[in-house]
Structure 1
Amino acid sequence: MQNSETGTVQSAAPRILVLGATGGTGRLIVGQALARGYDVAALVRSPERARGLDGAKLIAGDARDERALRRALEGREAVISALGTPASPVREVTLLSSATQVLVDAMKAERVARLVTITGIGAGDSAGHGGFLFDHVIFPLLLRKVYADKNRQEAIVRDSGLDWVLVRPTVLNDKPARGAVRMLTDLSGFHGGTIARADVAGFVLDQVRDGAWLHRSPLITS
């Protein structure tokens, strides 16, 4: 199937690359994508960390290595970035923004247009909407530097010229999927919320070809 906007050919089964595939949400994205019949590749730093990703094509490499990314992007039509980084109360964080800039450059070089990136509540204009504990304790004490980098990451995606969607989940949990997701852009009166990683994975996969949220930054919650 030809995409008239990008000139690329879309296969019947979406051919996606997942970054952050060994994380809690990334593993669910890979598993759900395979269950949907998607052709899935995952860029992983080591085969040991990729145990359980059976069915995905594994490419060894660092997400900040453009050569590794370009290898992983060959034949792909979309990228899902579920990259994460630990809380960092003291040290500056640059992984998310640096990896995203390299990814954008590699996608342009390989003519891959669709990018779906997970950031989180607290990024951009969702800051201050996480609820009292998140906004006044967790965020300032543990996540301030992480979210400064998430903001840089979002800016890179917005300025990329790609067909992007930024997905901002509320606080993640490991409960079973509810199958229902609320999507918000007007956060007036919204303070706090949680969502199952499995529901995040499903919503993110829907964005691979759906254009409803193209060039938008929905906050998603249960």
Structure 2
Amino acid sequence: MHLTVFGATGGIGREIVRQALASGHQVTAVVRDPAGLTVTGSGLQVVRADLTDPETIRPAVAGRDAVLSGLGARVRKDAGVATRLTRTVLTAMEAEQVRRLLVVSAAPVGPQPQAGLLDRAALGVVSAILKDIYVDLGEMEAELARSGTDWTSVRPPRLQNKPLTGTYRTVIGGFPPKGRFIGRADVAHAMLAMITDEGTVKQGVGVAY
């Protein structure tokens, strides 16, 4: 497949690029600073682009089978970037009539399974600390729902830097019970696997160990 990856210098985006290349896909990585992308491969095209202007990224999404995005705030002061930049991506995709889009969101944005008192307390503390980021991701998902794309929002819990396992749980429209962690490499693996999974289209998908 021909794939475009936004947020390719982030932890999940970099893994998407690496794993996609290893699987034989042709990958276009859209970045602000090419020096920040350490992944290399014969099937990789790196494009420097202004992610605030849909016109500049239209060539990067044109004719692609799918677009995958790891865009989002890394710290609270950056809250709002997920919505703004995803809106740009959506505009470019709709202009080029590219339909399949997979993005990274977060577990607290979606419905929560029943949990014990300790789990609920921990979730409440985390949600309060990262409230602005989760509000941003919620608004991003609202933009997806209003779009004409075949989107999927992947909602991981706390992220870890762990080697790829390929073993994790997914719940369409929900979240795996007692799922607390997942490695960035496995989130990337799940996103690539969902590209052709029609059951995940226009759905939020919880993913965790």
TM-score by length of 1: 0.84
Identity %: 33
Deviation at 1:92, TM superposition (A): 7.2
> 1:97/1:186 Cα in 2 relative to 1: closer, same or farther (>3 Å)?
closer
Distance 1:185 1:34 in 2: 27
Q: Is the helix fraction higher in 1 or 2?
A: 2
CA RMSD after TM alignment: 2.3
The one-letter amino acid paired with 1:28 is: E
Unpaired runs of 5+ residues, structure 1, are 1-13
Q: Is 1:41–1:72's contact at 8 Å kept on the other side of the alignment? A: yes
1:43, 1:62 within 8 Å by CA — same for their partners in 2?
Answer: no
User: Alignment partner for residue 106 of structure 1, among 87, 92, 96?
Assistant: 92
Partner of 1:40, secondary structure, is strand
Runs of 5+ unmatched residues, structure 2: none
2:57 pairs with 38, 55, 69, which one?
Answer: 69
Q: Distance in 2 between matches of 1:69 and 1:133?
A: 42
On the 8 A contact 1:122/1:128 being kept in 2, the answer is no
**In the alignment, residue 151 of structure 1 is paired with which amino acid?**
G
The CA deviation at 1:178 is: 2.2
Q: In the superposition, relative to structure 1, how do residues 192 and 174 fare at CA in structure 2: closer, same or farther (>3 Å)?
A: same
Letter in 2 for 1:98: R
C-alpha offsets along residues 42-76 of structure 1, whole Å, 9 cap, x if unaligned?
11001221233444211101322212210211231
SS at match of 2:190: helix
* Kept after mapping to 2: 8 A contact 1:47/1:60: yes
Alpha-carbon distance between aligned partners in 1 of 2:145 and 2:52, rounded to the nearest angstrom: 19
Count of aligned residue pairs for this structure pair = 206
Over 3 Å counting, the alpha-carbon distance change for 1:189 and 1:210 in structure 2 is: closer
Q: What secondary structure is seen at the aligned counterpart in 2 of 1:148?
A: helix
**Against the structure 1 CA distance between its residues 151 and 198, is the aligned structure 2 distance closer, same or farther, given a 3 Å change threshold?**
same
Kindly tell me: are residues 209 and 185 of structure 1, through their superposed partners in 2, closer, same or farther at Cα, counting changes over 3 Å? closer
* 1:190 matched residue in structure 2: 177
Moved more, 191-200 or 40-49: 191-200
Q: Secondary structure at the match of 1:184?
A: strand
Contact 2:173 2:203 in 1 (8 A): no
Q: Which residue of 1 aligns with 2:4?
A: 17
What secondary structure, in the 3-state scheme, does the structure 1 residue paired with 2:123 have?
Answer: helix
Map Cα deviations across residues 77-96 of structure 1 (whole Å, 9 max, x no partner). 210011121221xx572211
Does the Cα contact within 8 Å between 1:169 and 1:219 map onto a contact in 2? yes
Q: How does 1:40-189 map to 2 (within 5 A)?
A: 40-55=27-42, 56-88=44-76, 91=77, 93-126=79-112, 131-132=119-120, 134-141=122-129, 143-185=130-172
Residue 5 of structure 1 corresponds to which residue in structure 2? none
C-alpha separation between the residues in 1 aligned to 2:13 and 2:6? 7
The alignment partner of 2:192 has SS state of helix
Q: 1:212: how far off?
A: 2.4
Quick one: distance in 2 between partners of 1:24 and 1:206?
18
Partners in 1 of 2:176 and 2:191 — Cα distance?
Answer: 25
